[in-house]
Amino acid sequence: MLKRFCTLAALAAATALTAPAALAEEPKSGGVMNVVIQPEPPGLMLGVTQNGPTQMVAGNIYESLLRYDTDLNPMPSLATAWEVNEDGTVYTFTLKDGVTWHDGEPFTAADVVFSADVFLRETHPRLRVSLQHIESIEALDDTTVRFTLKQPFGPFMGIFEVGTMPMVPKHIYEGTDFKNNPANNTPIGTGPFKFAEWERGSFIRLVKNEDYHVEGQPYLDEIYWHVIPDAASRAVAYETGKVDVLPGGSVENFDVQRLTELDNSCVTGKGWEYFAPHAWLWVNNREGPMADRRFRQAIMYALDREFAKDVIWNGLGNVPTGPVSSKTRFFDDDVRQFPHDPDKARALLEEMGYDGTEIRLLPLPYGETWQRWAEAVRQNLQEVGIEVEMVATDVAGWNQKLNEWDYDLAFTYLYQYGDPALGVARTYLSTNIAKGSPWNNVQGYANEEVDRLFAEAAVAFPDENRQSLYTEVQQVLVEDVPVAWLLEIEFPTIYRCDVKGLVDTAIGVNDGFVDAWLDR
């Protein structure tokens, strides 16, 4: 199956098609929504802090130029129109007229230039990688911004998601120490909700932005984000009706079925299309039996990934065919397949002469779900004769062990951000082998062919040329098994069925509740 990015000309049509679906029922205005947030975010200034909980709350306060539908097509947000020149190096955005910041100041093209070129270049390590492809960002007038690229950059239209490029107010931040600006405690954005109060350890309250630039929206009056540290207590909070929404990952997976069987309770695995969280086992390619490709292939055959999906993840998600998620652009499943086949695994181990060396397995310290998953993996590996020792750590310890390459197998999951150049290549490029980060080529895989294919694919133009390069790189990687791919995760969002318009876009509850309303 191939997934192609629509051409710009088709985008407006795609947007027009998705909008009426969301509006099938007449939304009702008013009401308060109660949502769980876990863990408590360290701050709400999305330009400064880029972790999950921050985005989940601040995605309501801040906006970017675009949003994305569940097929990753761009939708208008602060930009209403966009065009690209013939060779894909100049993109011109027309901004929405009459947009104001929460403090009443007008939002203009100067804010876009400041946000992307000054503020985020300093504070946003992930965006910084993409910004290296950009020659200049200019405000042509108050509502027109031009991005000139050094060369075509395939994923360019995908970097305008709110967590990737949040617009920050120039009039507040220009010339200040961005990270320590006291204004970070009272975030000002253009989004549908305004920051109201934060009782640390208890709740965060956002209120409706009465001057929001979309007429009649948002529908909700207020949102309360409740900080409830214990997973079982979060489940109880939902069960007793104190909260309306449990965003993905709020409760342990074994509670999901019980909670969704309650009255007026719904569940969806949607809303992860842009992030496409991809889970795998890091396999330390440098040492011991893991250095042998046959050993890594044996691991793939040994793992019963369908079982993990069905039992540990309640059937949500997909078993991946390789490094690129089926939700991400340029996915191709024309690769070697690894069904659960313990006999093949044993044969490969025998062929390579595996001597029974014990392997250390580092689970992700994110709670019971991940612990159980690790136990299932250990059982799978022991079935084919690989001895496994589990290593217990907390989050800081897990980070350090990966940063120092002190592991044999380790669980992780990473976001793909819609495009292999943004979220896939970083794991396999040999130039990304460096201690000190759990997000680069931690396994130590080096293949010149792969480096070349990824480098060419990122800047190839148009998309047809990118596809053939990405198809080839997927085939090479799946053959080499630099890491053992486990699951395309869909974290279940559990919510009251009378909450409408909650998960309509590719980033789900992270996109703010601009379209959400209560049918009560």
Partner 1 sequence: MQKLSFIAKRLVKAVFVLLAIVVLNFFLIRAAPGDPAQVMAGEAGAADEIFIAQLREQFGLDRPLHEQLLIYVGGIVTLDMGYSYRQQQPVADLIFDRLPATLILTGTAFVISILLGVLLGALAAARVGKWTDSLITVVALVFYATPLFWIALMAILLFSVQLGWLPGFGMESVGAGYSGFQRVLDVLQHLVLPATTLGLFFMAIYARLTRASMLEVMDMDFVKTARAKGLPPGRITRVHVLRNAILPVITLAGIQAGQLVGGAVLTETVFAWPGIGRLMFDALLQRDYNLLLGVFFVSSAMVILFNLVTDVVYTLVDPRIELK
Q: What is the rounded CA–CA span in Å between residue 469 and residue 473? A: 6
Nearest approach in angstroms of CB 205 to partner 1 is 7
Q: What is the rounded CA–CA span in Å between residue 73 and residue 505? A: 10
For 264, which DSSP code?
Answer: T
User: Closest CB to partner 1 among 203 and 307?
Assistant: 203
User: Closest CB to partner 1 among 227 and 298?
Assistant: 227
Structure tokens at 133: 């492809």
User: Closest CB to partner 1 among 288 and 397?
Assistant: 397
Q: What angle do CA 67, 72, 78 make, to 5 degrees?
A: 15
Nearest approach in angstroms of CB 464 to partner 1 is 29
Which helix (H) or strand (E) covers residue 425, if one does?
helix 425-428
User: Closest CB to partner 1 among 239 and 463?
Assistant: 239
User: Closest CB to partner 1 among 40 and 504?
Assistant: 40
Nearest approach in angstroms of CB 186 to partner 1 is 12
Closest C-alpha among 461, 218, 474 to residue 328:
474
User: Closest CB to partner 1 among 316 and 414?
Assistant: 414
Nearest approach in angstroms of CB 393 to partner 1 is 7
Looking at this protein, which amino acid is placed at residue 127? L
Closest C-alpha among 416, 446, 415, 442 to residue 430:
446
Nearest approach in angstroms of CB 208 to partner 1 is 14
Nearest approach in angstroms of CB 344 to partner 1 is 35
Q: Quick one: 438 exposed, middle or buried, by C-beta within 10 A (0-12, 13-18, 19+)?
A: middle
User: Closest CB to partner 1 among 41 and 289?
Assistant: 41
User: Closest CB to partner 1 among 47 and 88?
Assistant: 47
User: Closest CB to partner 1 among 344 and 401?
Assistant: 401
Q: Quick one: 122 exposed, middle or buried, by C-beta within 10 A (0-12, 13-18, 19+)?
A: exposed
Structure tokens at 96: 């929405």
370 φ/ψ angles, rounded to the nearest 5 degrees: -70, -30
Nearest approach in angstroms of CB 467 to partner 1 is 25
Q: Is residue 454 within 8 Å of residue 447, measured between CB atoms?
A: no
Prior bond of 152 cis (ω within 30°): no
Strands (E), 230-277: 245-246, 265-268
**Contacting residues toward partner 1, per CB under 8 A:** 32, 34, 39-40, 42-43, 49-52, 125-126, 128-129, 179-180, 184-185, 199-203, 205, 222, 224, 226-230, 232-233, 236-237, 239-240, 242, 393-401, 403, 414-415, 426, 434, 436-439
The HSE-up count of residue 491 (CA atoms within 13 Å, CB side) is 24
Nearest approach in angstroms of CB 367 to partner 1 is 12
User: Closest CB to partner 1 among 140 and 232?
Assistant: 232
User: Closest CB to partner 1 among 227 and 421?
Assistant: 227
Q: What is the rounded CA–CA span in Å between residue 108 and residue 168? A: 11
Q: Is residue 416 within 8 Å of residue 328, measured between CB atoms?
A: yes
Name the residue with tokens 């998600």.
317
Structure tokens at 395: 């989050």
Nearest approach in angstroms of CB 224 to partner 1 is 6
Nearest approach in angstroms of CB 429 to partner 1 is 13
Q: What is the rounded CA–CA span in Å between residue 97 and residue 486? A: 46
Q: What is the rounded CA–CA span in Å between residue 341 and residue 212? A: 56
Nearest approach in angstroms of CB 282 to partner 1 is 14
